[in-house]
Each structure stands twice: as C-alpha cells, then as structure tokens.
Amino acid sequence: MVEDTVIAGGGWIDDPAFGDEPPIERGRRFIGDRRAEFLLGALVLGVVFFLLAMLGFVLHEAWPSFAHNGIRWFGPGGSVDNQIQAIFTSGDVRGTPVYLFHAWPLLWSTILTTLGSVVIAFVCSLFVAVFIVEFAPEWLKRVLEPVIRLLASVPSVIYGLVGVLVLVPFIGNHLISEHDKASVTPVISLTGYGLLAAVLILTIMIAPIMIAVFSEGLRSVPRGWLEGSLALGINRWRTFWKIAVRTARPALIAGTVLATARAIGEAVMLGMVSGSVGFAPNPADGPIFFVEPSRGLAATVIANTDELSSPPMKQTLFAIAAVLLFSAVLLSLAGWAAKQPMKRYLNVGGAAA
C-alpha cells in the first residue's frame, strides 16, 4: 500500500471514492477515473437540479392564482367554466387581471374518476394476476403475457378514440332514457360523455399496468413457501391467497401507486370521454350521477392550452399543474410509507417495487 501511495502521488488513498480501485495503468485510461466520476456525478446533479427547478418554477408561476383565492381555490362556488372564461379575457384587456377560480368541480371529477377506476382496477387486477400466475393453463399464460404488455403500452389517445366512437354512443343510446335526458336539460346534457365512460376506459387503461406489476410480484414468491403450505394439506387457492398474495403486498402497493399516478395525470383520454364540462357530478341525483359529464384537472389544462398567452390564464393553469405535481409527489411518498412495515417482504415479493 505504501508503494501505491507513492505511485498515485498521495491523496487518492484517503479518498473513499478510490478505495477499491487498482492504481496501475494510469496512462492508458481513455478518461481519468476521478474525472469520470466527477463528470457523471455532475450530470446526475444537473438532472436533479433541473427537476427540482421544475418543481420550483411551476410553484412560482402558480403562486398568484393560489394567493388570490387562498383556500377557496380548492372549494366550490360559481361556474368554473365562466371563471376560466373571465380569467382568459382579463388577460387581453389592459386592465387588472382576474384570478377568481374555484376548482372544486375539476378536483371532484379527478377524485371520482381516479378513485373509481383504481378501486375497480385493483380488485379485477388482483384476481386476474392470481389467475395468470397460478391457475391459468400454460398456453393461456404464454398468450396473455405479451397481450398485457401490449395493452399497457397502447397510447391513451387510442383508448380515447375507442371510447368516443364505441362506448360513449352505446351509453348515450341504451343506458340513458329520454326521460333522464329531459330531466336535466337546463343544466347539462346527457349524451353518454360522462363519468361512467371515463371510469370504464380509465380502468381498462390502468388495469394492465397493475396486472403486470402484481403478477411479477406474485411470481417472485419463493416456491418453497407455497409448497410448505400445500404439504400441510391446505388447498391451492387458500395457499396462494394467504401466502403468495400476502407476500407480494409491496408489489401490490407499487402497482397501485404506479396506476394511480397514471390515472391522476391522464389528460387526453379523459378530455375526450368525460364530457368536458366544468360540472361536479352530484351523487344525490340518483342513477343519473354515473352518466353526468365533468372534466378533470389534467383535462382542463389540455382543453385550455390555446389560452396560455393570457398571463392570468397561464398562472391558473400552472396552479392546476402544481396541484397535479403535488399529488404525484404525495402519492409516491404514501406508497413509500405504506411499504415500510413490509420491509422484510421486500426481498422476496417486491422485485417490482
């Protein structure tokens, strides 16, 4: 080691970064190791800095909208579509910008579609993943795996197109009676664009993601654990349900977080299918509730991108983006926290986590 220190001219042995590096053949390196580590580290630092700057810039740009509305930003009050219109036009005239914005209908729509589709997709995906990993015949397994991957990678705009051209007309023509349509005519029009179509298509969109992550987790459960249970005379279903599914809980959380993030951020498909009206579906309306139109936060941004030229409108849209970003961060934190008590399973069940 003394010799090494002499060759390196001192210094490197104290540097923890070079503890496991052999000091010979310095001249033939295509790039110095120390410099390479520095450059790579700088690149990573740059990426991190850029992303944190994004967080900062979005919040900074969003601030006027939050500052003018306070906590009422998240509350109900007035027609949100009229407010958006007023905000947009106030940017054109050389007067004072208008910021009044109560986003509750948009928030409520995002909450409803996300919650509805995640709950349905979770239950279905769990059973489908169990089926695929344990109970499906061998040939079906081999067919289904690429199909799931394909469905997970179909662009959302294609799902939106199918929704608009197939599901929405079906709902509009067969599930909503003329009486229902007439009963709400002055307020909204029930044409099939609405909550039901949005939740169904969103479920189909996020279920493949969940199934893929769930089945990867279920597959990595050690075979011996299951065989131990089977050897005790416990039947296959109970064995799989009580041992494999419990062991794979970190993967279940990871898949749910991933799918929820996708659902919250989905703008294009929901903008096409959900009706694009700033209306808060009201559960008190009875069965009509399920077909009432609405528009989520992300869909509102994409519906109003032409209006970014108006400064107050831009700030309002950035406020919506900030809420979306904040909920994405919160979601991954929640997933991390939920996985903490299950740390001992992470090595077996959480390959996907």
Partner 1 sequence: VSVSAPVIRSADSTASWRISDRIGLAFAWALGLLFCAVAAAIVTYLLVQGIKFVRPSLLVTHPTVSLTSNNTGGFLDPMLGTVLVALLAIIIAAPVGICVAVWLSEYGRPSALARVAESTIEMLAGSPSIVLALFGTLIFESPVLGFLSQKTPSGVVYGRSFFAAGAMLSLIALPLVVTTVREGLQAIPSHVREASYAVGKTKIATARRVLLPAARPSVVTGTMLGIGRVIGDTAIIVVLLGATMTLEGAGSTPLLRTLRGTGSTLTSYIFANAPTGDLNQPSKAYAAAFVLLMMVLALNAAVDVFSRRAKELRWS
Separation of alpha carbons 169 and 184, rounded Å: 19
Nearer CB in complex with partner 1: 145/285: 145
The answer to whether residues 259 and 203 touch, using CB atoms and an 8 Å cutoff, is: no
List the beta bridge partners of residue 275.
Answer: 294
Q: Select the residue interacting with partner 1 from 2, 3, 9, 16 (CB under 8 A).
A: 16
Q: How far is the CB of 105 from partner 1 (least distance, A)?
A: 18
The answer to whether residues 272 and 166 touch, using CB atoms and an 8 Å cutoff, is: no
Which residues in 207-226 contact partner 1 (CB under 8 A)?
Answer: 207, 211
Tell me the H-state helices in 131-231: 138-153, 156-162, 168-170, 178-183, 195-219, 223-231
Tell me the window of 5-13, 180-188, 213-221, 329-337 that interacts with partner 1 (CB under 8 A): 329-337
What would the DSSP string read from start to end of 75-113? S--S-HHHHHHHHHHHHHSSSPPP-----HHHHHHHHHH
Q: How far is the CB of 259 from partner 1 (least distance, A)?
A: 11
Task: Please name the helix (run of DSSP H) or strand (run of DSSP E) that holds residue 119, with its range, or none.
Answer: helix 104-130
For 259, counting Cβ atoms within 10 Å of its Cβ (0-12 exposed, 13-18 middle, 19+ buried), the class is buried
| Contact between 7 and partner 1 per CB under 8 A | no
Tell me the window of 17-25, 79-87, 97-105, 180-188 that interacts with partner 1 (CB under 8 A): 17-25
Nearest Cα to 256, choosing from 189, 207, 322?
Answer: 207
Q: Which residue reads 């996907």 in tokens?
A: 352
The answer to whether residues 255 and 274 touch, using CB atoms and an 8 Å cutoff, is: no
Separation of alpha carbons 155 and 269, rounded Å: 9
Nearer CB in complex with partner 1: 149/182: 149
| Contact between 246 and partner 1 per CB under 8 A | no
Residue 182 token pair: 């007439």
Please tell me the count of residues contacting partner 1 according to CB under 8 A.
88
Tell me the window of 4-12, 78-86, 286-294, 305-313 that interacts with partner 1 (CB under 8 A): 305-313
Nearer CB in complex with partner 1: 128/253: 128
For 118, counting Cβ atoms within 10 Å of its Cβ (0-12 exposed, 13-18 middle, 19+ buried), the class is buried
Tell me the window of 101-109, 160-168, 180-188, 284-292 that interacts with partner 1 (CB under 8 A): 160-168
| Contact between 341 and partner 1 per CB under 8 A | no
| Contact between 338 and partner 1 per CB under 8 A | no
Helices (H) and strands (E) in the chain, counts: 17, 0
Q: Select the residue interacting with partner 1 from 204, 243, 291, 353 (CB under 8 A).
A: 204
Nearer CB in complex with partner 1: 151/346: 151
Which residues in 97-156 contact partner 1 (CB under 8 A)?
Answer: 124, 127-128, 130-132, 135-136, 140, 144, 146-151, 153-156
Q: Select the residue interacting with partner 1 from 176, 324, 342, 353 (CB under 8 A).
A: 324
Which residues in 20-79 contact partner 1 (CB under 8 A)?
Answer: 20-22, 24-25, 29-31, 33, 36-37, 40-41, 43-45, 47-48, 51-52, 54, 57-58, 61
Tell me the window of 74-82, 92-100, 286-294, 304-312 that interacts with partner 1 (CB under 8 A): 304-312
The answer to whether residues 36 and 21 touch, using CB atoms and an 8 Å cutoff, is: no
| Contact between 332 and partner 1 per CB under 8 A | yes
| Contact between 258 and partner 1 per CB under 8 A | yes
Nearer CB in complex with partner 1: 127/282: 127
Q: Select the residue interacting with partner 1 from 7, 222, 227, 238 (CB under 8 A).
A: 238
> Helix, strand, or coil here: 322?
helix
Query: What length is written for the chain?
Result: 353
